[in-house]
Amino acid sequence: MRNKQIPLLKDNVPEVNKNVRAINIMRRNPATLSTLASVEDIACMLRKGYAQFPVLNRSGQLVGSISSNFLIVLVEKEHWYSKSSQEYDASPEKNKE
């Protein structure tokens, strides 16, 4: 999910959240995933128990966010790039429900 797809409450922020800052609810060094994280990296992140992970590009810039639930679905359905071909494998045989 890219940042532009994340809904933001710009003008209608609930009163109780008006003074909430990231520093108050996030860790200083959050657990992050890269845009091409390995299955092992994803498993490691899921063990941390967080609900959401920031996604960083190769330059270390925030490019999105992904939920642990979505990561679990991706792994269960084996939606990943093959290391040998570096191509996304979403073949119907691999992803039958």
User: Tens of pLDDT along the chain (97 residues)?
Assistant: 444 555 555 667 778 888 888 788 877 888 899 988 888 888 998 999 888 999 999 898 888 889 999 899 888 888 776 665 555 555 445 444 4
Strand ranges of the sheet holding 33-34, from the earlier edge strand across to the other edge = 33-34, 52-56, 62-67
**Is 68 part of a structural domain of the chain?**
yes
**Is 26 part of a structural domain of the chain?**
no
* C-alpha span between 32 and 44 (Å, rounded): 11
Considering its fold, how many domains does the chain have in total? 1
Residue 50's CB: how many other CB atoms inside 10 A? 13
Kindly state the tokens that stand for 41: 């990296």
SS3 36: coil
**Is 29 part of a structural domain of the chain?**
no
The amino acid sitting at 29 is N
**Is 25 part of a structural domain of the chain?**
no
Of 78, 75, 53, nearest in space to 66 by CA: 53
**Is 24 part of a structural domain of the chain?**
no
CATH for 89? 3.90.1280
Question: Which domain does 69 fall in, by range?
Answer: 1-6+35-97
**Is 21 part of a structural domain of the chain?**
no
**Is 20 part of a structural domain of the chain?**
no
Residue-level pLDDT at 32: 92
**Is 95 part of a structural domain of the chain?**
yes
Please say whether the dihedral angle defined by the alpha carbons of residues 18, 22, 23 and 24, taken in this order, is positive or negative: positive
